[in-house]
Every structure is written in structure tokens, then in C-alpha cells.
Amino acid sequence: MHKFENCLVVGISSRALFDLEAENRIFDQEGVEAYTKYQIDHESDLLKPGTGFALIKALLELNEIGSAERKTEIIVMSRNNADSSLRIFNSIKHYNLDITRAALVSGAQLAPYLAAFNTDLFLSANEEDVQEAINAGIAAGIIYTKHLAVKEIKAIEQIRIAFDGDAVLFSDESEQIYKSQGIEAFQANEIKNARNPLHEGPFAKFLKTISKIQKEFDKSQAPIRTALVTARNAPAHERVIRTLRAWDVRIDEAFFLGGMSKQEVLKAFGAHIYFDDQAIHTDATAEFVPSARVPYKNNEQLSNPEAERLCEPQKRIEQGTMTVKTMSAGEVLKPE
């Protein structure tokens, strides 16, 4: 049996975990040697928490409640080499984070190692690494590191994770119809296929793993709460609800916004991370809640960013709003 088979495995880059924006600027402006020297010279200087810090800390604390079986495993995944990474581990120790494993690959591709560690989720600020993970079939997001001030990231009592629907939890099959044929064809397709579950998207496995953890607890005491925040609205809602039912997963809150902006809903939900496939959404939500953009696979039709940009204005014309709540490559050492 794989050591991590029965727990949630999250890989996170150093820049997603800690605030390394100043160090990243050194790399961009002065190069790898200057960056490495800076990290070594400042090994005793503690790093401040980054955008993903509070979420990771809370995920680790799941291991302290309920059954003795370990529920989560966090692994630092970095293109840094070991020599430039002591500062990272010194900071991990200072903050009492139960992180004991790392993959430091000195510029090599990370995707093969994500699979080797049986990773359920990968968070990084490096778009290339996230793209490779998505292409390899692993849930991954490009985390925003500059938008949300660290002082606004509070300690977490109940983990709240929010997802977009199409091209994130679900495949992009319906979104392709929307973008190529328009809203009427999309709605007609969803009505016709209301009882046919949507195919799984890149985050389906991650949601299912979370759902298993949730089922270990009473609904009123579950340490994780999830939300679906989608631009869909009635009548396209039915297929979504039936798909989640067919997967036997639990979504605690669902918001069918019909083109409304997502920022205020996510802020009200108190999301500690939000995953969406479109930059037009994550650019905005990152000002309110920690956010990560989910890229399309390179071979998918929606991977053309220009097509996405041209189709987006029409999406904002969707009509109606409904809210449903249930109780239940080469040497690269830069920070990612």
C-alpha cells in the first residue's frame, strides 16, 4: 500500500507557502547566483507567511482531530536546490509546521515527482510548473502571491474551500459549447443532458478526497466546508446537482450566479482558497480571498487565452441568479 494512499497529499512551492516576493525580484533582476547567495546569506532570517500559509497550517491541524490516522501530508515541492533551501526549513520549524518531506529538484521538472508522491493538489506561483501538473492529470493552481496582504490572512478554525464548476470540478465539455455556440446552445445542451453526469474535471479527485474526510465527522462539526461558485444558473443547475449526487460527494454550499461577480459571495463565504479557470475571475477574487487559477490542459480547446478573452463579455450577460445551500526545463532555482 502506498504510504499516502489514505490521506490528502498537498504539494506546495516555497513561494506559495512563504512571502518570497522580494527574493523573486532578486532572481528576475540579478539572476540565479545572486538569488542563491541572498538565500544563503539570510538563512537565519525568518520568512513571513505567504498566501497559502494559513490554509496549509489548517490542513496539517486536521491530523490532530478525530481518528489517529493521518489525514493530510504536506510536501514542499521546489525547483530550488537543497543548498538554497535551508531558510525555508528554518521557517517551517519556527512556525511549528509538521512538514518533513520535500522535493528539491535543482531546476528539473516537478511533474514526475508530483505523481511519485501521489499528490492530490499542487499549489505554486510558477505557471510552468502548474501547467505541467495539469497536463499530467494532477489538480493544480497558480496561486496569487501579491494581491492579498498577509495581515488579512487570519488563522483558520474551519477550512473553507471554494470551486468554480466547469473546467475545474467538471470537464470543459459544456463550457466549450458555450464559448463556441453561445448561451442558448449551452442551456439547451444542459437541459437535454440534465440526467447525464458531467465528466470529471481536474479537481474532481481532490473534491472526492475532501469529501471522504468530511464524512468522518458529524456535518455540524466537520473541519472542512466546501462551496461551488459558478456562473451557471437555472436551468443549467440540475445537471450539476445530479453530477455531484452521482459522484457521492458533499458540497456544503452552492451558488449559481448567472453572470454575477463572484467576489462578494466568496468574501461572505470566507474562502481560504478559491479555484477558477478564468483569469478574469481570479484577478478580481484575489483581492478578497486567496485565489488560484487552474490552467487548461495544453491540448484542450479552451487553452487559447485569446478565445477566452473574446468570449468572456458574453458570459456576463447570463440571466437570473439562484443560490442553493445544503446543510449537510533548464536550470531554474527561482522561488515558485
pLDDT at 325: 46
Q: What is the mean pLDDT of the chain?
A: 87
CA separation for the pair 273, 13 (Å, rounded): 15
State residue 129's pLDDT score: 96
| Residue 289 pLDDT greater than 90, yes or no | yes
pLDDT in tens, 2-30: 567 779 999 999 999 999 999 999 988 99
| Banded model confidence at residue 330, pLDDT cuts 50, 70, 90 | very low
pLDDT confidence bin for 313, thresholds 50/70/90 = very low
What number does CATH give the domain 159-325? 3.40.50
Contact 55/272 with Cβ under 8 angstroms?
yes
Would you say residue 152 has pLDDT above 60?
no
**Per-residue model confidence (pLDDT) at position 149:** 58
Return the exposure string of 209-237: e unless at least 16 CB atoms fall within 10 Å of the residue's CB, then b.
Answer: bbbbbbeeeeeeebbbbbbbbbbbbeebb
User: In this predicted structure, what is the pLDDT of residue 312?
Assistant: 42
Amino acid in the structure at residue 163: F
Q: Supply the pLDDT for residue 324.
A: 46
Amino acid at the residue 311? C
Q: How confident is the model at residue 154 (pLDDT cuts 50, 70, 90)?
A: low
The pLDDT > 90 percentage for the chain reads 72
**Is the pLDDT assigned to residue 316 strictly greater than 90?**
no
Name the pTM for this structure.
0.88
Catalytic residue among 164, 166, 172, 277: 164
**pLDDT class of 50 with cuts at 50, 70, 90:** very high
The mean pLDDT value for 59-78 works out to 91
* pLDDT the model gives residue 272: 94
The full 3-state SS of the chain, as one line of letters, equals CCCCCCCEEEEECHHHHECCHHHHHHHHHHCHHHHHHHHHHCCCCCCCECCCHHHHHHHHHHHHCCCCCCCEEEEEEECCCHHHCHHHHHHHHHCCCCCCEEEECCCCCCHHHHHHCCCCEEEECCHHHHHHHHHCCCEEEEECCCCCCHHHCCCCCCEEEEECCECCCECCHHHHHHHHHCHHHHHHHHHHCCCCCCCECCCHHHHHHHHHHHCCCCHHHCCEEEEEEECCCCCCHHHHHHHHHHHCCCCCEEEECCCCCCHHHHHHHCCCEEEECCHHHHHHHCCCCCEEECCCCCCCHHHCHHHHHHHHHHHCCCCCCEEEECCCCCCCCCCC
User: Where are the chain's structural domains?
Assistant: 8-152, 159-325
**Residue 94 pLDDT more than 80?**
yes
What's the CATH architecture for 8-152? 3-Layer(aba) Sandwich (3.40)
Cβ atoms within 10 Å, residue 264: 11
User: What pLDDT shows up at residue 302?
Assistant: 61
Residue 218: the pLDDT is 87
Q: What is the pLDDT of residue 30?
A: 93
164 is catalytic: yes
Percent residues over pLDDT 70 in the chain? 85
Mean pLDDT along residues 94-105: 96
Intrachain domains 8-152 and 159-325 with the same fold: yes
pLDDT of residue 308 exceeding 50, the answer is no
